[in-house]
Homo-oligomer: A and B are copies of this chain.
Amino acid sequence: MSSNRPSLPKGTRDFSPIEMVRRNYIFDTIKKVYKKYGFQQIETPAMENLSTLVGTGGDESDKLIFKILNSGDYLAKADEKALQEKNANGLTKSIAEKALHYDLTVPFARYVVQNQNEITFPFRRFQIQPVWRADRPQRGRYREFYQCDADIIGSDSLLNEVDLIKIIDDVFTELFQGKLNYTVSVNNRKILQGIVESVGLQDKLEAIVVAIDKFDKIGNKGVIDELVRLGINLNDCHELMRLILPKPVRETELEKIQYLNQQIKNTINGQKGIEELEFVFEKLQQLGLKTARVIFDPTLARGLGYYTGTIIEVKVDNFPSICGGGRYDDLTGKFGLKDVSGVGISFGADRIYDVLLDNNLYPEFEGDSTQVLFVNFGEKEQDYCLSLLFQLRDEDINAEIYPEAAKLKKQMTFANNKNINYVVLVGSDEMNSGKLTVKNMKIGEQHAFTIEELIQELKK
Residues of A at the B interface (CB closer than 8 Å) are: 1-9, 12-17, 20-21, 24, 32, 35-49, 52, 63, 66-69, 71-76, 78, 83, 86-89, 91-92, 95-98, 100, 110-111, 113-115, 118, 120, 122, 124-125, 130, 132, 134, 144, 152, 155, 157, 159-160, 163, 166, 170, 283, 286-287, 334-337, 368-370, 373, 382-383, 386-387, 390, 393, 396-401, 403-404, 413-414, 417-418
Contact = CB atoms under 8 A, between A and B. Distances in A.
A6 B110 contact: yes
A9 B40 contact: no
**Integer count of this chain's copies in the complex:** 2
A66 B75 contact: no
Given A66-B69, A73-B88, A97 B24 contact: no
Contacts of A396: 32, 36
A408 to B, nearest CB: 16
Q: Which of A1, A47, A97 gathers most chain B CB within 10 Å? A: A47
A278 B40 CA distance: 49
Given A75-B87, A114-B7, A369 B404 contact: no
Contacts of A66: 47, 68-69, 71, 98
A449 to B, nearest CB: 20
A46 B114 contact: no
Contacts of A122: 403, 414
A20 B8 contact: no
7 contacts: A7-B114, A9-B47, A38-B373, A73-B88, A75-B87, A122-B403, A159-B382
B2 A414 contact: no
Contacts of A52: 6
Closest 8 CB pairs of A and B: A2-B336, A38-B400, A157-B403, A17-B40, A12-B45, A120-B417, A71-B134, A38-B370
Contact of A393 (B36, B75, B111, B369): B36
Given A6-B114, A41-B20, A42-B15, A159 B383 contact: no
A148 to B, nearest CB: 14
Given A67-B68, A68-B66, A283-B386, A38 B336 contact: no
Contacts of A78: 86
Given A38-B418, A83-B86, 20 more contacts: A1-B337, A2-B335, A4-B335, A5-B113, A6-B110, A9-B97, A16-B115, A17-B125, A36-B393, A38-B370, A46-B46, A46-B100, A47-B144, A68-B100, A69-B92, A78-B86, A122-B414, A155-B403, A159-B401, A170-B393
A317 to B, nearest CB: 28
A41 to B, nearest CB: 4
A113 to B, nearest CB: 6
A20 to B, nearest CB: 4
Contact of A68 (B45, B69, B373, B417): B69
Q: Which of A12, A17, A155, A390 gathers most chain B CB within 10 Å? A: A17
A39 B369 CA distance: 6
A315 B209 CA distance: 60
